[in-house]
Structure 1
Amino acid sequence: MNWGMRIVVGLGTFMLLIMGAGIYMVSHDTDSLVDDDYYEKSLAYDDVYKRKQNVIEDKAKPMLQLEGDTLSIVFTEETNKGELTFRRPSDGKLDLKVPLYTKSNVFRLPVSTFSKGNWTLEILWEHEKRNYLDIQSLFLQ
């Protein structure tokens, strides 16, 4: 085999390798950082912005306290209802939603079954027909 044929075979092999890698990457798309319904969420961002502004205007930012294996969320007002969303940045399969209802200003949740590490806690709640949203980082040890 002469050197010209070796170049053609080498280029052909390289092209097949690149095409195979491209097909593999497209068929195994596992991007867990993007929500499936990101378009719908972007259309409703005005509501998210208003909820965050309500937290700032009313000085209603809840305080997180981790005492042993119990997470306490201290609200500024009593009688809150809503939803807690725990998001794990490293693994979207561990994300969890918990309903929230409290007559006092403290909500307690056992977190002993949660994986250790970084979590993003999204607190979505309503108090006296006013809606709020707060997002905080949480590190469980």
Structure 2
Amino acid sequence: MKKLMTAAALAFGLAGAAQAADPAVGTWQTQVDDGAYAHVKMAPCGGAICGTIARTFNDSGEYKSPNLGKTLVIDMVPEGGGNYAGKVWRPSNGKIYIGKMNVSGNALKLSGCVAGGLICSKQTWKRIN
């Protein structure tokens, strides 16, 4: 029984380490959108990556946005080569977009589209940690 529990713990540990090695995991700073920007914490969520608003800033500095703790990047599934596909929520208009993401080093390029790709928005985020 002890060997079985040790093997299970090791298997869970290796799975967690593999997810932690994902290049999107970490904290990223968004570009300014409607006068504010955020720090988004990207973490594994099932077999995907999700991003939650951890801190918010405006011209006056850090402030307590009602969006703190909300999921901005939704179920981004890795497609290989630093590319992901999922959804993105834009707090300024409350819309959820079909999203694509690419991570290269300390840059994360995020795009979201609605209306079958006719209306799109893009941002480049920088890694905080």
Same fold (TM over 0.5): no
Q: Tell me the TM-score normalized by structure 2.
A: 0.29
Compare the two structures and name the one with the higher helix fraction: 1
Give the structure with the higher percent strand: 2
TM-score (structure 1 length as normaliser): 0.27
